Structure 1
Amino acid sequence: MPKRLSDRQRECITLFARGMMAKEIGRHLGIQTKTVQDHIAEAYERLGVNTRWAAAQALGIEPGQDRTPIPSLGSDALSEPVGGASQVPETGTGTRTLYDLYVGLGKWRAPPRGAVGRILRILLFAFLIAVLFGSIIAVGSLVFRTVDVLHDVTRS
């Protein structure tokens, strides 16, 4: 039978099961990240588990049940989907996976790959080639002028 968890360990495991990382939990609770990691490790040991999902199930918490940011973090804007993002699909098990969240971002999950970027790269390359040729012509002209002056000096 698993040992009883402290209130802080239960709080850390609950937030961890929601999908928060140790650093975020530490900021939310006002404690060091290392302390959060220690609470989670001790809770794992007491529960006899080795993953956040198993710990959540051992405590009767539905893993991934509530992945919205906690209101006290001041992130009301984050609970709304990103502009243009579709509604996050369900996996059929009642939980949302990280992949489901990624797919739910729709066109926002990758930077645009339009012709504008390609045209800018071509124009930059053409500019660099023009500078290179201009430099070669300038150096060649300087060399020929120097040789011509030296030739005139030696004739006189």
Structure 2
Amino acid sequence: MPIPPPDYAPKPALEVLTDRHRECLALAARGLNSCAIGKALGLSPRTVDEHFARACEVLGVRTRIQAVALTSVTDISAPCRAPPGSRSSTPRTGRDGKS
């Protein structure tokens, strides 16, 4: 069987992810944990963990980190609502309080 050309790379099952899965993964990629993601989306942390478990199953990966890495390099577009004051909306500063 011939090897497919480089531009033919089978896409992972990203199309099967729900919008909620995408939202959770996108917020996790910004550094938020289950509690912060839950607050941002109006969900319990346990429900967020369930969304991660299902997303990992669909993507064929074992961990949340693998799922985030896979979706980050594949450029999923998810409607994200980061909570005010989260790490994603607050500029980083050093210990002295300066950027």
Structure 1 and Structure 2 fold alike (TM over 0.5): yes
TM-score (norm 1): 0.42
Q: Quote the residue 1:73 is aligned against.
A: 83
Q: Is the 8 A contact 1:44 1:50 kept in 2?
A: yes
Q: Quote the residue 2:43 is aligned against.
A: 31
Aligned pair 1:42/2:36, yes or no? no
**Which structure is higher in helix share?**
1
Q: Is the 8 A contact 1:44 1:55 kept in 2?
A: yes
Q: Which runs of 5+ in 2 are unaligned?
A: 1-11, 74-79
Q: Is the 8 A contact 1:17 1:52 kept in 2?
A: no
* Relative contact order, higher structure (CA 8 A, sep 6+): 2
Aligned pair 1:2/2:10, yes or no? no
2: distance between equivalents of 1:83 and 1:27? 27
What is the count of residue pairs matched by the alignment? 79
Amino acid at match of 2:25: I
Superposition misfits of 4+ residues, deviation over 6 angstroms: none
Q: Which runs of 5+ in 1 are unaligned?
A: 63-69, 88-156
Aligned pair 1:55/2:67, yes or no? yes
Question: Larger Rg: 1 or 2?
Answer: 1
2: distance between equivalents of 1:36 and 1:71? 15
Q: CA deviation at 1:2?
A: 2.8
Amino acid at match of 1:74: P
Computed over aligned residues only, the root mean square deviation of the Cα atoms, in angstroms, reads 2.9
Which of 22, 25, 31 is equivalent to 1:19?
A: 31
- CA 1:2–1:40: 2 relative to 1, 3 Å: same
- CA 1:57–1:23: 2 relative to 1, 3 Å: same
- CA 1:86–1:71: 2 relative to 1, 3 Å: farther
2: distance between equivalents of 1:29 and 1:71? 7
TM-score (norm 2): 0.63
- CA 1:71–1:54: 2 relative to 1, 3 Å: closer
- CA 1:8–1:58: 2 relative to 1, 3 Å: same
